[in-house]
Amino acid sequence: MIDFEVKPLNRAFKLIRIKPQMLIKMKEVVPDVYYIGVNDHLTKLFEGLWPIPEGVSYNSYVVKGEKTALIETVKIPFIDEFLKKVEEVTSFDIDYIILNHIEPDHSSSLPRLLEKVPNATIYCSKKAEGMLDSLYGITENIHVVEEGEKLDLGGRELVFYMDPLVHWPETMITYDTKDKILFSCDAFGSYKALDFGLFHDECDPDIYYEETIRYFSNIIAKYVKYVKKAMEKLAGLDIKIIAPAHGLIWRKNPQRIIDLYIHLSDRMAIPGVVVIWGSMYGNTAKVVNHVVEGIKEAGLPVKVLNFSADHLSYLIKETWKYKGVILGFPTYDGGPFLNTSYYLHLIKRKDLKERIVGFFGSSMWSGRALKQAADQVQELDWEVVEPLLEFKGSPTDEVLEQAKQLGKAVAERVKSS
């Protein structure tokens, strides 16, 4: 029997030296609306799954009229920093706590916050009410919000809209009618902590662009049809500022992030090709450069990733981004290379449809891997470019030329699609 000890979280935190830029100062978004979120540089895997080498932020806001509302909390390890900011902005005089989403990265500080503001009323959706009971045993002072319901703060009004499955079924969004601020929770969010500024015009938003795509493909993608519905609902709102629960606040030109989200909800598919390959002994690897050469000759951008060296988080992200996909892998256990199998499983889970795909790979005594993979992706309406380039052992010059032609054929098909 293995003796397993769960160490207290605080012990691990004491080992981390917090650099000044890891702490975000409380900041005014507009007069009477404040950012009180935190940066997380401690978590290695978001949701225990997805790498966040540059951290992530948990954004929380205070909105003041004659009454005061707090929107979202933060993940519990950051409770001390969070409560300090809450006190600084509100002196713990809070009338309403708005919870757009109950996933614990936004709600797990709620029980500790309620110790400070026991009379605050929690505003959330009907489904969220049950979740608060399941997660924290909280059953009192809850007001269940209806679609389009308004909350008058005195000189400022909040309106609530249901936003189911972006990203849990209980999710809603909150809209401030005075300054036209959309508090969108996970929607429009990204990985990457806010080390250099809160607003997209304070830093280079391109740095966050790729991390927004990765966050979307990893976390939100499975429910893409609901994102599409949400985008249609938002089209009727006059939005001047988007204040999500992760990543940058978008002001001045929020349409930029809205356009990206519309694009993402259409499964993106920009003209280009991602090549993802894996190799056991180097035979499949010898083909990769020739495939890439063919794509470049056709004039399309190409991104190359590896099944063994790159985390699935990035493989899924690049596959969401590009229309063309070329997968290279050997046969293993009579089927696709193991990491390839997990990738194929995940693209189905994420409902990643309508790509143009080519295959190459080495086999020795059993050569069914490429055919098996091609059959799987066709279930997702992926168009397979024939022939499947399966070869025995090390590639010959003829195979290398065929690899170049495969790259070219997939790229040309992407261009004409």
Q: Which residues bind ligand FEO (CB under 6 A)?
A: 101, 103, 105-106, 167-168, 186, 245-246
Of 199 and 223, which has the nearer Cβ to ligand FEO?
223
CB count in 10 Å sphere of residue 214: 23
Residue 165 CA to chain centroid, in angstroms? 13
Q: What is the CA radius of gyration of the chain?
A: 24
Q: Are 255 and 314 in contact (CB under 8 A)?
A: no
Of 99 and 399, which has the nearer Cβ to ligand FEO?
99
CB of 169 to ligand FEO, least distance (A): 11
Parallel/antiparallel/unpaired status of strands 389-392 and 270-277: unpaired
CB of 34 to ligand FEO, least distance (A): 20
Q: Are 155 and 66 in contact (CB under 8 A)?
A: yes
CB of 172 to ligand FEO, least distance (A): 13
State the alpha helices, DSSP H only, in 363-396: 369-378
Of 95 and 103, which has the nearer Cβ to ligand FEO?
103
CB count in 10 Å sphere of residue 175: 20
Of 185 and 300, which has the nearer Cβ to ligand FEO?
185
Residues 6+ apart with CB under 8 A from 260: 209, 212, 213
Number of residues assigned to the chain = 417
The DSSP line for 177-220 is TTTTEEEEETTT--SS--SS-SBTTTS-HHHHHHHHHHHIIIII
CA dist., res. 352 & res. 179, Å (int): 37
Take residue 127 and report the two structure tokens written for it.
């489904």
Of 171 and 331, which has the nearer Cβ to ligand FEO?
171
CA dist., res. 361 & res. 378, Å (int): 18
DSSP secondary structure letter of residue 75: -
CB of 227 to ligand FEO, least distance (A): 13
Of 215 and 343, which has the nearer Cβ to ligand FEO?
215
Judged by DSSP in three states, 62 sits in: strand
CB of 135 to ligand FEO, least distance (A): 13
CB of 126 to ligand FEO, least distance (A): 18
CB of 14 to ligand FEO, least distance (A): 26
Of 68 and 174, which has the nearer Cβ to ligand FEO?
174
Of 50 and 168, which has the nearer Cβ to ligand FEO?
168
The DSSP line for 289-317 is HHHHHHHHHTT--EEEEETTTS-HHHHHH
Residue 243 CA to chain centroid, in angstroms? 16
CB of 383 to ligand FEO, least distance (A): 33
Of 33 and 187, which has the nearer Cβ to ligand FEO?
187
Q: Which residue is nearest to ligand FEO (CB)?
A: 103
CA dist., res. 391 & res. 370, Å (int): 11
The DSSP line for 326-353 is EEE--EETTEE-HHHHHHHHHHHHTT--
CB of 191 to ligand FEO, least distance (A): 10
CB of 171 to ligand FEO, least distance (A): 8
Of 81 and 170, which has the nearer Cβ to ligand FEO?
170
CA dist., res. 328 & res. 290, Å (int): 12
Judged by DSSP in three states, 321 sits in: helix
Take residue 214 and report the two structure tokens written for it.
């990765």
